[in-house]
Structure 1
Amino acid sequence: MSKVVAVVSGGMDSATLLYHLLDAGHEVCAISINYGQRHVKELEYARKLCEGVNVPHMVADLSAINPLFGANSLSGRDIEIPEGHYAEENMKLTVVPNRNMILLSVSIAWAISQQCVAVAYGAHSGDHAIYPDCRPEFAAAMDQAAQLCDWNPVQLWRPFVDIDKGDIAKRGAELGVPYELTWTCYKGLEEHCGKCGACTERKEAFAKHGLKDPTVYMA
C-alpha cells in the first residue's frame, strides 16, 4: 500500500482517520499542529493515539503565528467559546482564518520530505456549510496545488468528505477506535465541558447510531 501523512489533531475525526488508513494497509506518519489553539491539550491526545498504534508522530510548533489569526474564539482568548448547537452566526466565532491551508501546507511539506504519496485529513460533510476551508472546492484546489508544488506530487485525501460526524463515529466503532483517548472540547478544560458546540456535536455523533459515548462531560 501507500506511505501517507495523516493530520491527527487528537479529535474524533482524525483518530478515526488514523485507524481507517491503517486498516487499509497504508504506512502512516502522523502530524499534529500547535497553532496556539485554546484547546492545545488535544495534541497530548494525538500523541497517545499514535503511540497506541506505533505510528511515528510529529508536532509542528506554529504557535508563533498565533497573533496573525486575529479575533476568534479558538486561537484567541478574548472571545468566549460559543455554547449550544452551532448555527451560522456563533460558529463563525470559531473560524480561524485560513487555518486548513496553513496546516495542510506544512503537512504537505513533511509528506514530500518523507516521500509520501498523500496527505489525509478528516474533513467531513458537516463542516462544509460554515467553515470555508472545509468546502470540497477548497480541498480540490489544495489537492491540485499539492501536486504542483514539488517535483514529487502529493495527493490530498479526504475519505470522510461525503459522510457526517455520526457516520464517522460508526466507522470508528467498527475499527475499535479508543474514543476515550480523543479530545473535542474547544474550551480545553480538565474535562469536556459538555456545552460548547464541539461537545454538542460529539454527543450527537455518538447518539446518531446509538453508540456508547465514553466521554466524561462536566455538564
Structure 2
Amino acid sequence: MTDTPAETDTPTNAATGTDTSTSRTNASARVTEEGTPKRAVVLLSGGMDSATAAYEARERGYEIYALHTSYGQRTEARELECARRLAEELTVADFCSIETSHLSAIGASSLTDDEMAVADADTESDEIPSSYVPFRNANLLSMAVAYAEANDCGAVFIGAHSEDFSGYPDCRPEFFDAFEQVVDVGTKPETEISIEAPFVEWSKTDIADRGLDLGVPYEHTWSCYRENEPACGTCDACAFRLQAFQRLDVRDPIEYGERPSYTDES
C-alpha cells in the first residue's frame, strides 16, 4: 500500500486525544501529471467504513468509481440502497453494482447462511467470528482491480481497519500488502494500481471521528448484520459502530431496535 503526505489537519481520536494520522495524498493534487483526473475505485458496501473511505478518497483528489457487491448477505437490499444514496451524495463518475452468488453458495458464514445465527456482540473476543465470510476481501478486491484496470484507475480503496483484522484474517495489513503484489504481477505491464486501506491501523472511533470531519452522511449508511430496519443494536457490527459514536459523544443517526451502551464508562 502506498500513501503520500497530505496537507490536512492531523486527526485525533476525540475519546483519547491520541494522534490518528496516517500519510495521505495531497488533496489539492486533483490531476495526474498528464493532466487527467486521478481515478480510484472505492469498494462501497454502504457501511460507515466504506463511506468514510470514499470521502477520504475524494478528499485526496480522486474521481470515484464506486463498486458495490451483493453476495447473498442478510441485509443486501439495505446495503445496496445506502451505497446508491452515498454514490449520489458523492457525485461519483460511475456506480457499478455486481450481484454474485458464489460466496453464499460456499456458505460457512452467518452473514450468508440462514442455518447459522448471527451471534450477539462480543467486543472483547479474539476469536474469528461466525460472520467471517471465507476470503471475501480477496474476492471483492479482485473485482475492484478488474474494474479499476478497465477504467484506468490508479487506486482501489477499501475501508478495513484494525478492529476488523483482529477478527478477520483478510483485513490484516499484510494481506493488503500481499494483494498489491498480486495486482502488480497480474495486470498489464503499464497498469499501476495501489491498494489503499487508509484506516488499516485505525479504530472504529478514529474512523467515525474522521468521517464527521469530512461530513460523511452517516444517516445514509448501514452496518447491521441482522436487520434491514431498524438496526438490531446487538450484533458485532452494531456494537462497534455504537461504541464509536458513544466514545465521541455523538448520537448515531440511524434507527436501532436497541441502543445498549458499549463504552467503558457504562
TM-score normalised according to structure 2 size: 0.78
- Describe how 1:65-144 pairs up with structure 2 within 5 A: 65-68=103-106, 70-86=107-123, 87-89=125-127, 91-144=128-181
Aligned position for 1:204:
243
In the TM superposition, what is the alpha-carbon distance from 1:71 to its structure 2 partner? 2.3
Query: Matched residues, percent identical?
Result: 41
Bigger Rg over Cα? 2
Tell me the distance in 2 between the aligned counterparts of 1:72 and 1:169: 27
In the TM superposition, what is the alpha-carbon distance from 1:76 to its structure 2 partner? 1.1
Aligned position for 2:219:
180
Asked whether the 8 Å contact 1:99–1:133 carries over to 2, the reply is yes
SS of the residue corresponding to residue 129 of structure 2 reads helix
Aligned position for 2:75:
39
Tell me the distance in 2 between the aligned counterparts of 1:33 and 1:168: 22
Aligned position for 1:5:
41
Tell me the distance in 2 between the aligned counterparts of 1:121 and 1:75: 21
2:95 matched to 1:57? Answer: yes
Q: Which runs of 4+ in 1 moved over 3 A?
A: none
TM-score normalised according to structure 1 size: 0.95
Q: Which runs of 5+ in 2 are unaligned?
A: 1-29, 31-37, 259-266
Aligned position for 1:25:
61
After superposition, the CA RMSD in angstroms is 1.3
SS of the residue corresponding to residue 200 of structure 2 reads coil
Tell me the distance in 1 between the aligned counterparts of 2:111 and 2:117: 9
Q: Which amino acid aligns with 1:32?
A: H
In the TM superposition, what is the alpha-carbon distance from 1:48 to its structure 2 partner? 0.5
Tell me the distance in 1 between the aligned counterparts of 2:250 and 2:229: 24
In the TM superposition, what is the alpha-carbon distance from 1:65 to its structure 2 partner? 4.5
Q: Which runs of 5+ in 1 are unaligned?
A: none
The higher relative CO (CA closer than 8 Å, separation ≥ 6) is in 1
Q: Which amino acid aligns with 2:41?
A: V
- Describe how 1:140-159 pairs up with structure 2 within 5 A: 140-151=177-188, 152-159=191-198
- Cα distance per residue 1:123-167 (max 9 Å; x no partner): 111111220000111111101111221111311011111111101
Q: Which amino acid aligns with 2:126?
A: E
* Residues 126-135 or 204-213, more deviating: 204-213
Cα distance change, pair 65–165 in 1 and its aligned pair in 2 (3 A): closer
Tell me the distance in 2 between the aligned counterparts of 1:189 and 1:150: 38
Asked whether the 8 Å contact 2:109–2:133 carries over to 1, the reply is yes
Aligned position for 2:9:
none
Query: Which has a greater percent of helix?
Result: 1
- Cα distance per residue 1:33-54 (max 9 Å; x no partner): 1111111021110110111121
Tell me the distance in 1 between the aligned counterparts of 2:121 and 2:194: 36
Tell me the distance in 2 between the aligned counterparts of 1:177 and 1:153: 29
Tell me the distance in 1 between the aligned counterparts of 2:57 and 2:147: 18
Asked whether the 8 Å contact 2:229–2:255 carries over to 1, the reply is no
Asked whether the 8 Å contact 1:85–1:201 carries over to 2, the reply is no
Tell me the distance in 2 between the aligned counterparts of 1:201 and 1:110: 30
Asked whether the 8 Å contact 1:50–1:57 carries over to 2, the reply is yes
